[in-house]
Amino acid sequence: MWLILLGLLALPVIIFAYIELRVAHRRRLVNKFNGPATVPIVGNGFQMGKNPSDILNQVFNWWHQYGKDNFRFWIGYYSNILITNPKYLEYILSSQTLIQKSDIYDLLHPWLGFGLLTSTGKKWHKHRKMITPSFHFNILQDFHEVMNENSTKFIKKLKRVAANDNIIDFQDQTHYLTLDVICDTAMGVPINAMENSDSKVVHAFKDMCYNINMRAFHPFKRTEFLYRFFPEYSKYCETLKTLQDFTNDIIEKRVEAYKLETNKKTDSNEFSRKKMAFLDTLLSSTIDGRPLTNVEIYEEVSTFMFEGHDTTTSGVAFAVYLLSRHPEEQRKLFEEQCAVMGSDLSRDATFQEIADMKYLDLFIKEAQRVYPSVPFIGRYTDKDYEIDGTTIPKGSTLNLALIILGYDERTFKDPHVFRPERFEQERPAPFEYLPFSAGPRNCIGQKFALLEIKTVVSKIIRTFQVLPALDELISKDNRLSTFLGPEEERLKFEQKRHKYDPILSAVLTLKSENGLHLRLKERVICEIFLFCSLSTLFAYLLRSFAEFPLLSLALCLY
């Protein structure tokens, strides 16, 4: 009897001792990094903050506290190292073996399976090689047509919803546009989300992205095992099934159409067309000499559906939000639009014209510095790695804090000031600024994303004057309306926070928890004409004369 009781009492102690012993080696190595004091068993879990916005603030606070360098924290027995040191980033991102993703990506598995974003090892290598040509220049040009056409529709919709000085949530609006673009480019089917925003599939996409972001930092909803016990689980399953059925249905139809076409070489059915969607490219690709299975196609297509629209939503929405707060930069952008596009500002910009918009490029770079669409990426060490003389033990989660890089004043002077010109003057080194990551696992859709963001933003600048939700919210001294930094300064900043200032929330993609509110005022034709013809035409002529001295000489002689 006594013995059993003693045994029962001793059991937890034995288990505790066993786990502690197993983790001792990893703990000794990980704790060589600076970091907050830990409590037995829970580690630092309780200090992390309870929502994605608190967590972001805590991470910035710790970074300042621990010498603006890498630091460690423990979530229970999970050892996490937050990486911000460019030397470490270079090592990790250039590695051909440290390519396994951290467990936060597990949340994507039910929907995306193991596509390019979530797979690892041999499978990832082969698929990456196969998919890379899908982003070839020529294909991108086809995609540009979709982006242009869909942005035009977007502008029409914005005119409607933003009429009468209405304050709109731009983040919400953008979601439907990017969904339309990705459906058409990845799968070749228009779903017209902008007009059917109440449709089941459109809802499902939105719910799923929200769900993944929400669960990422929820202590109990994070694991599938525990999530099952929440009442919302059945709704989640329904959403998942809607998306799976939608994608599989299109794949099946395309596969049939593809077979028919390769047999008969006719082009009379509804699924054939000149423009190749990403899905069509997959159908004609092979791996080890065999065509892809339907599951493989499903995984890659859904990966694109997710990666290709949640990120660009954030990219477009924050860029336009920044326009609303920084009128001087908006003026420069508008002038550039006039110079590049000439007198007809309502037409589509060509591929080349988008490339000629240099200030727009600086603007988007600066927007991605302060509000990077992908704020963190994760890796998991499958063995010990030695970086810069320090051992990172097997079984560690590495959180690469891309968002912190933009706020490091050793790279960017006055990081809380929005100044696109800095990218001409300061020129960060390759691993000091990484919105699209770098190395073998960098963003495969970078060119696609930038083209889409620029296409939409360019059209918006030409059509509207973007205004803040309230006139007085215009930025003074070009300072940002958000603050990411040490705790005391942040608390001071928060006291002056306006309800229309964004609350940043960083999970898989950066979002504003309370939306991105602004107003749009349609530009009047005659205002455009006056402005363009006088100021920019003159500047443009001067510039072209400077660029072609021979031509101007000839003109003079003539």
Ligand X SMILES: *[C@@H]1O[C@H](CO)[C@@H](O)[C@H](O)[C@H]1NC(C)=O
Q: What is Dmax (Cα atoms) for the chain?
A: 114
Nearer to ligand HEM, 437 or 552 (CB): 437
In whole angstroms, give the CA distance from residue 117 to residue 106.
11
Token code pair at residue 89: 């980033």
Partner in contact with 449, chosen from ligand X, ligand HEM, none, beta carbon below 5 to 8 Å by kind: ligand HEM
Planar angle of CA 175, 180, 181, nearest 5 degrees? 100
State in Å, rounded, how far the first CA of the chain is from the last one.
114
Token code pair at residue 35: 């970091």
Min dist. Cβ of residue 302 to ligand X (A): 20
Partner in contact with 437, chosen from ligand HEM, ligand X, none, beta carbon below 5 to 8 Å by kind: ligand HEM
Min dist. Cβ of residue 340 to ligand X (A): 23
Partner in contact with 162, chosen from ligand X, ligand HEM, none, beta carbon below 5 to 8 Å by kind: none
Nearer to ligand X, 179 or 508 (CB): 179
Partner in contact with 194, chosen from ligand X, ligand HEM, none, beta carbon below 5 to 8 Å by kind: ligand X
Nearer to ligand X, 187 or 520 (CB): 187
Partner in contact with 296, chosen from ligand X, ligand HEM, none, beta carbon below 5 to 8 Å by kind: none
3-state secondary structure 35-104: CCCCECCCECHHHCCCCHHHHHHHHHHHHHHCCCCCEEEEECCEEEEEECCHHHHHHHHHCCCCCCCCHH
The annotation status of 532 as a binding-site residue, yes or no, is no
Token code pair at residue 488: 């005391």
Q: Letter for the amino acid at 125?
A: H
In whole angstroms, give the CA distance from residue 49 to residue 505.
12
Nearer to ligand X, 92 or 301 (CB): 301
Min dist. Cβ of residue 314 to ligand HEM (A): 7
Min dist. Cβ of residue 300 to ligand HEM (A): 8
Planar angle of CA 67, 71, 73, nearest 5 degrees? 140
Min dist. Cβ of residue 303 to ligand HEM (A): 5
Task: Give the up-direction half-sphere exposure of residue 200: CA atoms within 13 A in the CB hemisphere.
Answer: 10
DSSP reduced 3-state for 246 = helix
CA 175 to chain centroid: 13
Planar angle of CA 522, 528, 533, nearest 5 degrees? 175
Planar angle of CA 317, 370, 173, nearest 5 degrees? 5
Min dist. Cβ of residue 128 to ligand HEM (A): 5
Nearer to ligand HEM, 339 or 401 (CB): 401
Partner in contact with 441, chosen from ligand HEM, ligand X, none, beta carbon below 5 to 8 Å by kind: ligand HEM
Task: Name residue 73's beta-bridge partners.
Answer: 80
Nearer to ligand X, 107 or 191 (CB): 191
CB atoms within 10 A of CB 468: 23
Planar angle of CA 207, 312, 271, nearest 5 degrees? 80
Partner in contact with 145, chosen from ligand HEM, ligand X, none, beta carbon below 5 to 8 Å by kind: ligand X
Min dist. Cβ of residue 148 to ligand X (A): 8
Q: Return residues touching ligand X (CB under 6 A).
A: 145-146, 149-150, 153, 180, 184, 190, 192, 194
The size of the chain, in residues, is 558
DSSP reduced 3-state for 205 = helix
Q: Which CA distances in Å does 241 have to 200, 244, 250?
A: 11, 5, 14
Nearer to ligand HEM, 250 or 339 (CB): 250
Min dist. Cβ of residue 223 to ligand HEM (A): 20
Q: Which CA distances in Å does 366 have to 210, 235, 398, 415?
A: 26, 39, 26, 10
Q: Which CA distances in Å does 45 have to 40, 104, 222, 519?
A: 11, 15, 14, 40
Q: Which CA distances in Å does 181 have to 124, 193, 271, 366?
A: 26, 10, 18, 24
Min dist. Cβ of residue 227 to ligand X (A): 34
Nearer to ligand HEM, 269 or 446 (CB): 446
Partner in contact with 303, chosen from ligand X, ligand HEM, none, beta carbon below 5 to 8 Å by kind: ligand HEM
Token code pair at residue 53: 């916005």
In whole angstroms, give the CA distance from residue 129 to residue 116.
10
Nearer to ligand HEM, 345 or 374 (CB): 374
Partner in contact with 508, chosen from ligand HEM, ligand X, none, beta carbon below 5 to 8 Å by kind: none
Contact of 85 with 31, CB cutoff 8 Å: no
Partner in contact with 374, chosen from ligand HEM, ligand X, none, beta carbon below 5 to 8 Å by kind: ligand HEM
Nearer to ligand X, 65 or 152 (CB): 152
CB atoms within 10 A of CB 552: 15
Nearer to ligand HEM, 155 or 179 (CB): 179
Q: Return residues touching ligand HEM (CB under 6 A).
A: 101, 116-117, 128, 303-304, 307-308, 311-312, 315, 373-374, 377, 435-437, 441, 443-445, 448-449
Q: Letter for the amino acid at 229?
A: F
| Residue found under tokens 């930094």 | 485
Partner in contact with 180, chosen from ligand X, ligand HEM, none, beta carbon below 5 to 8 Å by kind: ligand X
Min dist. Cβ of residue 146 to ligand X (A): 4
Min dist. Cβ of residue 367 to ligand X (A): 24
Q: Which residues are part of a known binding site?
A: 443
Q: Which residues are part of a known binding site for heme?
A: 443
